[in-house]
Chain A
Amino acid sequence: KQEVTQIPAALSVPEGENLVLNCSFTDSAIYNLQWFRQDPGKGLTSLLLIQSSQREQTSGRLNASLDKSSGRSTLYIAASQPGDSATYLCAVRLFQGGSEKLVFGKGTKLTVNP
């Protein structure tokens, strides 16, 4: 059974700091991995998608890496801003028995202090 773990569960940093969020998964047979952002009381916003054959993806101040063999992904946020405060979720996509599903971690709650 695939399990996704995110460390730390919560993180508080001053504005301007660079930071790394971690995601690990137990089964390397994934199709892709996606990072999301969730603001309080809201749905999920897709940030970055990494295919299983890729090593990293970048969008603006965000960079996500994937090491499929070791079951790890990181989300790097450069020059953090108060507007980055949210919960960040990673999810791996699996294909099992003809169906597909996303398995989510519990998220990292990020607070960026002005």
Chain B
Amino acid sequence: SAVISQKPSRDICQRGTSLTIQCQVDSQVTMMFWYRQQPGQSLTLIATANQGSEATYESGFVIDKFPISRPNLTFSTLTVSNMSPEDSSIYLCSVRAQETQYFGPGTRLLVL
């Protein structure tokens, strides 16, 4: 199994600002995943982060808007840049351990 923690758990931000979300895993993993869950919607994959290489972004998501760092095998950050109210969502960090996918508790973001 894998235990994932995220910081912050929630935040309220002003439009035009940026927020960096941290994700820490209790074991070394090759890939870390960042998901977004908009209000009333299911989860959508933003990007996959491998240690030592550029993150791979899904269609509709770009590095300038969602830069990701992956400095080691247990840690990653996702930045939501130049925020607008449409970025209000829950952002979840996730890893795969053996065959099972595990998720962090999420960061609930409200942009005013």
Contacts and interface: CB of A to CB of B under 8 A. Distances in A.
B92 A44 contact: yes
B36 to A, nearest CB: 11
B96 to A, nearest CB: 8
Contact of B99 (A36, A43, A44, A51): A51
28 contacts: A32-B99, A36-B103, A42-B105, A42-B106, A43-B4, A43-B92, A43-B103, A43-B104, A43-B106, A44-B43, A44-B103, A46-B100, A46-B101, A49-B99, A49-B100, A51-B99, A89-B43, A99-B48, A99-B56, A101-B33, A101-B48, A102-B33, A102-B43, A102-B45, A102-B101, A104-B44, A106-B41, A107-B42
Interface of B: 4, 31, 33, 41-45, 48, 56, 58, 92, 94, 96, 99-106, 108
